[in-house]
Homo-oligomer: A and B are copies of this chain.
Amino acid sequence: MADVATLDRVVIRFAGDSGDGMQLTGDRFTTESIFVGNDFATFPFYPAEIRAPQGTVAGVSSFQLHVGSWDILTPGDQPDVLVAMNPAALRANLGDLRRGGLIIADTAEFTPRNLEKVGYGSNPLTDDSLAGYELHALDLTGMSVRAVEQFHLGRKDAARTKNMFALGLLTWLFSRDPAHNLEFLDAKFAAHPQIRDANKAAYSAGYHFGETTESFTSRYHVPGASLERGTYRQVTGNRAMALGLMAAAARAELPLFLGAYPITPATDVLVTLAEAKDQGVLTFQAEDEIAAIGAALGASYAGHLGVTSTSGPGMALKTEMIGLAVMLELPLVIVDVQRAGPATGLPTKTEQADLLMALFGRHGEAPLPVIAAQSPSDCFDAAFDAARIALEYRTPVIVLSDAYCANGAEPWRIPDLSTLPAIDPRIATAPNGPGDSFQPYRRDERLARPWALPGTPGLEHRIGGLEKADVTGEISYDPLNHETMVRLRAAKIDGIGVPDLAVDDPTGDAEVLVVGWGSTWGPIGAAARRVRVGGRRVATAHLRHLNPLPANTGDVLRRYRTVLVPEMNSGQLALLLRARYLVDVQSYTKVRGLPISIGELEADLITLIDTQEAR
What is the distance, in angstroms, from A570's C-beta to the closest C-beta of chain B? Answer: 5
A551 on the interface (CB 8 Å rule)? no
Q: Are B342 and A363 in contact (CB under 8 A)?
A: yes
Q: Find out whether the CB atom of A479 lies under 8 angstroms from the CB atom of B593.
A: yes
The complex places the Cα of A594 from the Cα of B342 at a distance, in Å, of: 35
CB contact between A360 and one of B346, B347, B360 (< 8 Å): that residue = B360
Q: A320-B313, A576-B579 in contact; A364/B342 too (CB < 8 A)?
A: yes
In residues 553-607 of chain A, which contact B (Cβ within 8 Å)? 569-570, 572, 575-576, 578-580, 582-584, 590-594
A466-B323 contact, Cβ under 8 Å, with A483-B590, A578-B579: no
Check if A466 sits within 8 Å of B365, measured CB to CB.
no
Tell whether, in the assembled complex, residue B364 and residue A361 are in contact, meaning their CB atoms are under 8 Å apart: no
Other A-B contacts than A315-B363, A345-B465, A356-B360, 4 sampled, CB-CB below 8 A, are: A316-B320, A324-B344, A482-B591, A486-B570
The reply on A464 being an interface residue by CB < 8 A is yes
Interface string of A31-68 (1 = CB under 8 A from B): 00000000000000000100000000010000000000
Task: Tell me if B363 and A353 are in contact (CB < 8 A).
Answer: yes
- Give the secondary structure class of A's interface: mixed
Interface residues of A (CB under 8 A from B): 48, 58, 311-313, 315-317, 319-320, 323-324, 326-328, 338, 340-347, 349, 351, 353-354, 356-357, 359-366, 464-467, 477, 479-480, 482-483, 486-487, 490, 569-570, 572, 575-576, 578-580, 582-584, 590-594
B312 with A482: CB separation less than 8 A: no
Q: How far is the CB of A290 from the nearest CB of chain B, in Å?
A: 8
Given A364-B353, A591-B486, do A323 and B342 touch, yes or no (CB 8 Å)? yes
Q: Is the CB of B366 within 8 A of A361?
A: no
Q: Given A578-B578, A579-B576, A590-B483, check contact A341 B316 (CB 8 Å).
A: no
The 3 closest A-B pairs by CB, nearest first: A341-B364, A312-B363, A361-B361
Tell me which residues across on chain B come within 8 A of A319, comparing CB atoms.
Answer: 316-317, 319, 361
A341 to B315, CA, bound (A): 19
A605 nearest CB across to chain B (Å):
20
